[in-house]
Chain A
Amino acid sequence: MLLIDCPYCGVRPELEFVYGGQAHVARPQDPAACSDEQWAEFLYWRENVKGVHAERWRHTHGCGRFFNALRDTTRDHFLATYRVGERPPAAAVSRGREAQA
């Protein structure tokens, strides 16, 4: 089981959390104006990264809040967690890429 560092509550076991898929997928401002390609992209197309992945988690059995995490999907190693609205910490991204190379 993984230990996940909730930005609000600290380190807790994985069982308290629910995975929320790829992070930073913005819902289109005006869905009616989307082309089929844009709407399908929003709904279905995901990066499926083998490496450093930005993803959403929710601390369901804790504070209940959503946050984002950077995880290396080749090792399941968490590089950083950060709050919704923040950009992925660049230092953690490059650290993860170096670990892969």
Chain B
Amino acid sequence: MQRFSALSLLRRGLSGHRDWQPQWRKAEAKPAYDAIIVGGGGHGLGAAYYLAREHGLESVAVLEKGWIGGGNTGRNTTIIRSNYLRDESAALYDHALKMWEGLSQELNYNVMFSPRGVLMLAHTVHDVQVFKRHVHANRANGVDNDWLTPQEARSICPVLTTDGIRYPVLGAAFQRRGGTARHDAVAWGYARAADALGVDIIENCEVTGIRLDARGAVEAVETTRGLIRARRVGVSAAGHSSVILRMAGVRLPLESYPLQALVSEPVKPIFPCVVMSNTIHAYISQSDKGELVIGAGTDAYTSYTQRGGLHISSHALEAICELFPMFRRMRMLRNWGGIVDVSPDRSPIIAKTPVPGLYVNCGWGTGGFKATPGSAHLFAWTIAHDRPHPINAPFTIERFREGRLIDEAAAAAVAH
């Protein structure tokens, strides 16, 4: 692997940038691996990286049906935060946030993590009460979160309109350690680092079946590139998790919905943080390229189309124009959808399944990107040890039968 440094950039700059190598090999599938990860998004590539790096697995493959960075990793709005209400969630998301802080150094790849702060607006008395509760719960869990007056919120985000709108801003919760990262770079950085440790990344390889042995344990996966044997298979397939798990006879309490996002034409730096509003219902930040990145809630009905309805994205834009009238005449360049797997309590599942050797990391719904390094790290730990890490131990499939929900449906600090 070519390492990146100021010196290597300078040297290749002087030679016209002609001698850069591909960031990862185009691997062909071997007949068998120690472990296979299904799904080449950030969560899956990261899991493969940590399996090789921290758990010493020598033969690991990542199977991706499309291309690296083409799924939800490249379709989200790149927001990172850990201000979740429940103790279990705070531990999980803050584990990820702490890993974000050192990820570029760890991978020797600039993921452009930018802790510019996440501002969550309160527009009603109910919002104020809920967010203050969040601030207190977060602080008790060691997660930073501050309550701001409207004036303080404007000092952080000067372009914010707080008065004279249908739902005036009454205050805001602000997590300073939150922010954004370059989503493609997260996938590419993990892919490059995993590849350097010998992980085979196999693109255009769709899993079509999971083969079990006579005892009912995982034996192999059938793919569009043939049969590949492995006794350990981790599924990290976002909106398609229930499709893949059904191949092994495992049903999941998930439903898949389109979640849309938009970006505007690029403009000069105007927007210094991330702003989220549940009541008016949209979120917005500005990428380092200058595009405004805008998202909102999921579409109304389950679907696998990666499109979504126009009236849903129009609604998000109306909310943005209410809060930031100066953006009214901006043009949107692109609009797309990703398929998100929503669980009943809006918390993920990182767990063993009833099938020995089959593990699943799913149910991230509308908010998986922020958890990428933590989720990948814990999923690798779970696969390597055949039992969950203490942080992801509560995030089982069985919790829905046992009534041990981790209910972030109303508490995740975001409307779904």
Query: In this assembly, does A61 line the interface, its C-beta being within 8 Å of a C-beta of chain B?
Result: no
**A98 located at the interface, meaning its Cβ lies under 8 Å from any Cβ of chain B in the complex:** no
The answer to whether A45 touches B304 (Cβ under 8 A) is no
**Contact status B243-A73, CB under 8 Å:** no
In this complex, the interface size class of chain B, counting residues with CB under 8 Å from chain A, is: 20 to 34
Q: Which of A18, A19, A50, A53 contacts B243 (CB 8 A)?
A: A50
> Is A74 on the interface with B (CB-CB < 8 A)?
yes
Does B251 sit at the interface, judged by CB under 8 A? yes
> How many angstroms between the C-alpha atoms of A1 and B301 in the bound complex?
12
Can you list, as one digit per residue, whether each of A61-73 has a CB less than 8 Å from chain B (1) or not (0)?
0000000000101
A90 in the interface (beta carbon within 8 A): no
Stretch in B8-16, B30-38, B105-113, B252-260 with 4+ CB within 8 Å of A: B252-260
Which of A25-33, A35-43, A81-89 contacts its partner?
Answer: A35-43
Cβ < 8 Å to A, chain B residues 284-317? 300-305, 307, 309-311
For the complex, what is the distance from the CA of A55 to the CA of B302, rounded to whole Å? 10
Q: Contact at A50–B304, with CB atoms within 8 Å?
A: yes
**How far does the alpha carbon of A1 sit from the alpha carbon of B341 in the complex, in Å?**
22
Q: Which residue of B lies closest to A39 (CB)?
A: B401
Contacts of B255 in A (CB 8 A): 21, 46, 48
Majority SS of interface residues in chain B? loop
| In contact, B256 and A48 (Cβ under 8 angstroms) | yes
**A99 → chain B, closest Cβ, in Å?**
14
Q: How many residues of A contact B (CB 8 A)?
A: 24
Residues from chain A with Cβ under 8 Å of B402 in the complex: 36
Q: How would residues 234 to 254 of chain B score, 1 for a CB under 8 Å from any chain A CB and 0 otherwise?
A: 000000101100000001111
Contacts of A36 in B (CB 8 A): 401-403
Q: In whole angstroms, how far apart are the Cα atoms of A24 and B65 in the complex?
A: 32
Q: How far is the CA of A69 from the CA of B392 in the complex (A)?
A: 38
Q: B residues engaging A (CB < 8 A)?
A: 240, 242-243, 251-256, 300-305, 307, 309-311, 341, 344, 400-403
Top-3 shortest CB links A-B:
A44-B253, A19-B301, A40-B401
New A-B contacts (8) at CB < 8 Å, excluding given A44-B344, A48-B255: A1-B310, A18-B300, A19-B300, A37-B401, A48-B242, A48-B302, A73-B256, A73-B304
